[in-house]
Amino acid sequence: MASYREALDYIYSLTDYEKKVPYCYAPEFFDLSRMERLLALLGNPHRRFRSIHIAGTKGKGSTAAMSESILRAAGYKTGLYTSPHLHTLRERIRVEGKPIPREAVASFTERLRPLASPIEGLTTFELITALAFAYFAEKGVELAILEVGLGGRLDATNVVTPLVSIITSLSYDHTSILGDTLAQIAREKAGIIKAGIPVVSAPQAPEAMAIIEEVCRRKGAELTVVGRDWTWKAGEANLEGQWFEAAKGGGQRASGRFWIPLLGRHQLINATVVLAAVEKLREQGIDIPEESVREGLRRVRWPGRLEILSRKPLLVVDCAHNVDSAHKLRVALKELFDYQDLIFIFGASADKDIAGMMRELFPVAGEIIVTKAHHPRAADPHRLEEIASALGYEVTRSNGVDVALNLALELATPQSLICVTGSTFVVAEAREAWFKRSGGRMPECDPR
C-alpha cells in the first residue's frame, strides 16, 4: 500500500485551485460531471448518508463545527468535511470528531487513483471530496456536515441533496472568480439551494438577500432568515466564551440561553443559524434533544479563530482573510481584550483585497510586521510593505512567520496584544511556531 506521503503527493499532483486561482468560476475549470463520474465509479457513496450543506463567505467552518458537535452530542455518527486545513489534510475529514487516519488516506487514495486517472481535469479538491464521501460511507456516518470549498453552484460538494442548506454571511471575496458584486456572489452561493429543501440564511445585505429569496421562490425551498425569523441577544462574555439567548419568531417563542466557547459577537449569528437549522432537522424527524444542543454548543472547538495562545503577553490568532472579517476582528479585539499596545503580524494571499484589509486593521496598531507563509498564493512581504507604505503605514518586513513572531515577542511587554492574521496559512504557521517555542503540544503537521 502507498504511504501517507505518497498519497499526498498524488492528491496534490492534480490541478489544485487552492494554490492556483482560475480566471473565472466557470465550467471550463469547475465541472460537476467529473465529480459525478468519479462518485458513480465508487458506487455513489454520497447517497449512503444524510447531510447538511453549508455555503457562504465567512462563518462556514464555525457553523459546520457547531452543527457537527450538536449532532454528535445527540448520539449520531457524524461526518465533518471542511476546508482548508490548518496543519494536516486529515483535519478536513472527520468522523465522530476524529480526523481521518493516515492509513485511511493512503488506502482510499490507492483505491481512487485508478478510477480518477482516466477523468481528465480532475482537481485536488474533487479527489479529496470523493475520498471524504467514500470514507463517510464506509464508516457508517449517519449525518455529514459538508462545507462548500468555493462558491457553491459548481463546487464539488454540490452533488448532494441535503436535509437543509445553510448560507452564512456573504461578503466580497474571490471577486475575480465569483463576481465583483454581492448579487453575483450570492447567485453562486445560492447554487446549493435544491428544489423543496429548506434553506437557512444568516442576515445578508439587501442585494444578496434578494437573490437568495428569488432562488428559493423559484425552487420551492422554504427560507428561514436569521435576524427576521430567528433573533439573538448577546449575554455576558469573557476570554473563555460567551452567553447568548436565541428566539424564534421575533421573540414570541424562546429557544433558550446558550454558552459557546467561541469569541467574537459574530459567532452568535453563526450559532443562531445553527439553532434554526436544528429546528429544520427536527421537522424532518431527526431527534435532537434540547440538552444535546446545549452540550454540543458548549463543547465545540474551532482552532485559529480568535484563538488565545498566550495571556502575558496576549497572543491571538485569527483567520481573517477578507475585508469584512478584518473589520469583525478589529471590533472583537477592542471589545474583548484589555491591552496597552497592539502588534499585528500580517500576511495575506496575493489575490485578496490587501489594501482593504490593511485599512481595517492597521489604524489601531502600534507596531505592524508583514510576513509570508510557505504557500504559493502568499503575497511577498515586499509587496505588502509597498501597499502599506502607499496607505501611509510604516511596517517591519519579515520573511518568515516564525521570525515575525519572535520579533513581535521581543517588542511586546506583558501588557501587549499580539494578533496574527491575514490568512489561514499564516495562522497555521504561527500556531506551530508558538507551540514549538513554548513547549506546548505540537499539532500534527503534513510535510511541506
Catalogue all structural domains in the chain, each as residue range(s) with its CATH number: 4-299 (3.40.1190.10), 307-438 (3.90.190.20)
Predicted confidence band of residue 442 (pLDDT cuts 50, 70, 90) = confident
Q: State the Cα–Cα distance between residues 19 and 263, nearest whole angstrom.
A: 29
Q: Which of 117, 112, 86 is nearest to 317 (CA)?
A: 86
Tens of pLDDT, residue by residue over 63-92, are 999 999 999 999 999 999 999 999 999 999
pLDDT at 119 over 80: yes
Tens digit of each residue's pLDDT (9 = 90 or more) over 247-298: 998 555 556 899 999 999 999 999 999 999 999 999 999 999 999 999 999 9
106 pLDDT more than 80:
yes
Q: What is the DSSP string of 334-396?
A: HHH---SEEEEEE--BTTS-HHHHHHHHGGG-SEEEE---SSTTBPPHHHHHHHHHHTT---E
Confidence of residue 447 (pLDDT cuts 50, 70, 90): confident
pLDDT at position 440 is 84
Q: How confident is the model at residue 177 (pLDDT cuts 50, 70, 90)?
A: low
Mean pLDDT to the nearest integer, 101-123: 96
Model pLDDT, residue 172: 65
**pLDDT score recorded for residue 250:** 58
User: Looking at residue 173, what is its pLDDT?
Assistant: 60
pLDDT digits (tens, 9 = 90+) for 15-29: 777 665 544 445 555
H or E stretch at 254: strand 253-260
- Residue 119 in 3-state DSSP? coil
Pairing mode, if any, of strands 314-318 and 307-311? antiparallel
Is 50 exceeded by the pLDDT of residue 175?
no
Residues 354, 323 contacting (CB under 8 angstroms): no
- List, for residues 191-228, the tens digit of each pLDDT value: 999 999 999 999 999 999 999 999 999 999 999 999 99
pLDDT, averaged across the chain:
93
143 DSSP β-pair partners: 50, 78
Is residue 13 packed enough to be buried (19+ CB in 10 Å), middle (13-18) or exposed (0-12)?
A: exposed
Pairing mode, strands 164-167 and 78-81: unpaired
Output the nine-digit C-alpha cell for 178. Answer: 465569483
What does the pLDDT read at residue 448? Answer: 73
| Listed residue (339, 337, 313, 318) closest to 329, CA to CA | 318
Question: Does position 2 have pLDDT exceeding 90, yes or no?
Answer: no
